[in-house]
Each structure stands twice: as C-alpha cells, then as structure tokens.
Chain A
C-alpha cells in the first residue's frame, strides 16, 4: 500500500464515519417502521397475549384501548419513537418486564455463543481454506473441501440433537441443555451477562467450568456452519489471488512461498474475508432459533420468535432493533475496513 494512499486515510475515515451515523439512523427508522407494520399485519393478536383466549369482549376492548391499538398506525408509530427517544423500549407483554431488561438478559447468551462459534470458525476455517487453495487439487484440498461441504450440508439442529445424545446422554462429557445447571443459577452476579466472564470475575471457577461444559456443544454445532462457510470462501478467494499475475511475478522474483501466500495473496483476500466473517458473525448474532431451541438456550433468537408468536410487539421491536443495530454495525464496520484497506475500492 502506498504512502500517498495512507495519507488520505484519516479524512476518508472521518467522512465515512459521518456517513455511517446518517445511514445508521436511516436504517434504524426503516427497520422500526417495517417491524411496526408487521405488527399490524401479523394475525397474532397482542391483546389476546395479555388477556388470554377466553377473555370476555369488554375486558378485551379495555386492553385494546389501553394498548393504544385503536389509534391510527402512524400515530402509534410516532408514539413509539417518542417513547424510544426517552430511552424506553416499552414493557414486554410476555415477561411483564421492561424490554430493555429482557434484552440485557437474553442478548448476552447469544453473544457468547455467536462469538465463540465465529472465533472457532475463523481460527480453524481460514488456515483450512488457505491450505486447500495452496494445495489445490491435492489431498489436503479434497479433505478440506469435503469436510467443509459436509459441515455445510448438515441440518444443524439435527446435528445438535445427535450431539446431545452422544456427548451428554451417553458419554457424559459435557453439560446438557441450558446455559448452566439450574441450581447454579443466580449465584454469580450478572455484570456483563456473559456467564464465562461473570464467573471469572467473581472467581467462581466451578460455575465457570459448568458454563464451559454447557457451552461446548452448542458453540461447536454453530461453529460447524461458520467454519465450513469461512473455509470455503477463503479457499475460493485465495484461488482467485493465487492465479493472479502479481503472484507469478513475486514467485519469479524469488519471494519465498510462505511470503507469497501470506504477505501477498492473503493480504488481498483479507478484504473480502472481512465481509464474509462479518456476515457470518451477524447472522449468528441474529440467533439461531433452532439451535437455541435444541439446547434450551435462552438467546435472542428464541426471545424474538416466541415474542412474535405471542404478538408481543414491544419485545419484537426491541429485539429487532438490537439485532438490526448489530447487523448494520458489523456491516458498516466491514465496509469501513474494506474501504480503508483496499485502495481499489476507494472512490
């Protein structure tokens, strides 16, 4: 990368960051508006979620008005935005608690899982992908490709069930469904909501162990997907680069093979990889409802889905905003890196 390009970086960064703020706002409004409309279109009745299916009509009507559902949609939306600007995400119907409290409880569970799965995917997937590309057509390539394909073709909630059966029920190597054994619950004070971190902070190694034992299976199952995808894309990107002329030139000039691979080809791949890793991480953060269901994992995916089925729109909106912000944030971040790292992509 040339010096001239580097000098232009701070200004470009400032401009991009400014743009990010604006687009974030735009995305955010679009997101909430769409969710709001969905709340209206959904056949699930939020009033019934409160009053139960046997409620007499007068009770129903009372709650209907209390929830402001008799107002026009734009007015309801405006009220929500107003409420939101005060930092109030509303109260969940399903949990009878402020949505914010719920999110603080459920999101870290997904964050913990998604982060570990992505880290596993990155640290195993990238070397595998590079190896496969370098040894294209040879057995490491075939092994990596087939492994990756198998991982990718696996219905992961089925894999989760089988894994639970084998490693928990039969072999007793790991913990069962849930984040920790229930009787450990409530002992460690939730500081970050990430049980591993909390337990470590509190020095509760027994709980830490327990949490790790519960985390292993779901994160491995999720990582299967991340790993397969990242390895595959790495291989694909690396192949593109290794066939480029500059690689040939470098080789001709006598640059060592590891240097060609890592310093030249891989650096160029990095840019595209960031997008891929970002997408993967973001999609895992969204919460894999099925994996969370199989492992009874109280994550954001389950939270949003159950809320949705219960017509609990404050909760759905809150969850959607959090996931949406994560998604947009990660994508913007990768976009930013993209523009800063790759001179070609710069306008």
Chain B
C-alpha cells in the first residue's frame, strides 16, 4: 500500500506526522502507519462508515442493556399481550405481553455472542486448511479437500442438528454446530486463492530465496487470502445469525424465554398478519445488524485487500 495520496499534504506535527512519515524509523512505526492509512481510506468510505456505525451501535446497545431497558424482557404479562407501539412500549409487546424493545436490546448481546464466537472459530480453521491444501498441493491437498468436501456435501442443518443433539440443546452448542458447518466454504475459497497465488513470481522469488513453506504460507499466501475470506465472513454474518435463528426455531438453539432475535421471529411469525410488529421488530433488528456487518465488511475489503492497490 502506498502513501502517494498523502504526500502532498502540508507537513504537520505530532502523532499524525509520525504516522504519515515517509521514512518510518521502526517496524512498529511502519505497522502503525499501515493501520492509520487504512483507517484514513476506510473513513473516507461512507458505506463502510455507516456499517461501522451500525456495528458500534450494536456493541454499545449490548453493553448498556441494563441501563436502557425497563426490565429483563423475560417476564410474561398476559394482560398486556400484543399491544401496539405506545409511549410505554415503543415497539409494542409480544404474544406473552413482554416489551419488544427490551427483548430486542437484550437480544443484541446474544447476537454478538453468536457472531463473534463463530467468526473466531471459523476463519483460522478455514484459512489454514484452505491455504495449506492449495499451496502444498498433492496428497495433502487431496486429503484436506476430501474432508472439506464431506463437510460441504453434508446437508448443513443435519450436521448442526446432530451435533446439538449429541451435546444437548442450547446456545453454545448451537454456535459450535454452526461453526462446524460453516468452515468448509472458507477452506475452499482460501484454497482457490492459494491455487492462483502459488505460481506467482513473488512466491517463486521467495522460494528461490529459501523461504520455508510455513514462512511463505504465513507471510505471503495467507495475507492474500484473507480478503476473500473476510468478504465471505461478513457476507456470512447474516447467514450465521439466521442459522442460529433456524436452530432456535427447531428447538435446538437458544431456549425460551431467551430473547434471541431469530427465535423471536420464529415464534412471532404466526402474528404477522394481525400484529405485524411481533415478528417484524426482531426481523428489522436482524436486517439492520446484518446490513451493518455487510457494509462494514465491504469497506474492510476495500481497505484490507492489498491487491486492489488503491
């Protein structure tokens, strides 16, 4: 990544100068510079900033939940069912008379939890298997890819169900199940990238210079594959949330009365015709958050991808 665009700016003092210096004095400074420049590029992208805003709002909502809600959102109040929006209940109440605003806010914690954990498990696994398979090739490739194929070929839900069935229903097990069924496409994508990269001149050059396979994988192949994987992950965020919802719907994810958004849609969907807000409020929450993740990912892609060379 070059700093051409910033060279003509008038010289400044302090941190900014240090960050934009043409001659970084240390590796650490160079790294910081890279991040700062990336941030500058990111900041100029309105779509990405919108995404960041939404995700930041989600995180804030999750942290502040105890202070911005009126209750736990768990207590049924049968005399108060299916109320429309009002000053007291901004988003109305659900089929058991619980305040939907409270439930949505508490649900943000669960959503973050799911998405975060799945991402943390899936990306390293997919990246590692995919790049090794693609770069090393041969028997290793065959073995790894056949394993990947088995997972890919497996109807996802069944695999997820089986795992949850073995471990017992619940949110954590659902997350593990989702991760197990989600990593395989990442491996395939990473492998596809690695395949096209491995014959590039710079890789050959590195090989000629005597770099180890692990070194090449870590320094050259993986960074180039990360962008595709990140794009895929952000694209998958919505899918992950919805899969968790699907599991919840099938009774294997978050158990009632946990305010998991997907489960809220599932149980609320019979009310769509008359009390549209019951499934719609969590639906919108999922939509907005997925959109946020997608926008963010889109921006990240532009910034992180060394190949786009901007």
Contacts and interface: CB of A to CB of B under 8 A. Distances in A.
Contacts of B25: none
Nearest to B238: A153
Interface stretch (B35-43, B58-66, B68-76, B144-152): B144-152
A328 B188 CA distance: 13
A18 B301 CA distance: 38
B291 A149 contact: yes
B153 A31 contact: yes
B155 interface: yes
Given A320-B155, A323-B153, A158 B265 contact: yes
A290 interface: yes
Given A320-B154, A323-B155, A324-B154, A152 B238 contact: yes
Select the residue from A27, A150, A342 with max chain B CB neighbours within 10 A: A27
B154 A345 contact: no
A275 B192 contact: yes
Given A27-B149, A38-B162, A161-B272, A236 B47 contact: no
Contacts of B305: 240
A4 B137 CA distance: 23
B2 to A, nearest CB: 13
Nearest to A305: B157
B149 A331 contact: yes
Given A31-B150, A272-B192, A275-B189, A286 B156 contact: yes
Contacts of A34: 150, 154, 159
Contacts of B288: 153
Interface in B151-188: 152-159, 161-162, 165-166, 185, 188
B26 interface: no
A304 B154 CA distance: 12
Interface stretch (B8-16, B80-88, B211-219, B279-287): B279-287
Given A152-B235, A289-B246, A158 B269 contact: yes
A179 interface: no
Given A145-B47, A153-B290, A243 B307 contact: yes
A287 B283 CA distance: 22
Nearest to A153: B290
A162 B153 contact: no
Nearest to A26: B146
A107 interface: no
Interface in A265-294: 272, 275, 279, 282-283, 286-287, 289-290
Contacts of A30: 146, 150
A201 interface: no
A182 interface: no
A31 B154 contact: yes
Interface in A103-133: none
B17 interface: no
A152 B242 CA distance: 11
Contacts of B5: none
A152 B290 contact: yes
Given A146-B47, A301-B157, A338-B192, 20 more contacts: A31-B154, A38-B162, A38-B165, A41-B162, A41-B166, A145-B47, A149-B295, A153-B287, A153-B290, A229-B235, A236-B231, A240-B307, A275-B188, A275-B192, A283-B156, A309-B250, A323-B153, A328-B153, A331-B149, A331-B152
Ranked nearest first, the 5 interchain pairs of A and B with the lowest CB-CB distance are A153-B290, A38-B162, A324-B153, A327-B153, A153-B291
13 contacts: A27-B149, A38-B158, A38-B159, A145-B47, A149-B298, A155-B287, A158-B265, A158-B269, A240-B308, A305-B157, A316-B158, A327-B149, A342-B196
Interface of A: 19, 23, 26-27, 30-31, 34-35, 38, 41-44, 142, 145-146, 149-150, 152-158, 161-162, 165, 169, 229, 232-233, 236, 239-240, 243, 272, 275, 279, 282-283, 286-287, 289-290, 301, 304-305, 308-309, 316, 319-320, 323-325, 327-328, 331, 338, 342, 344-345, 347
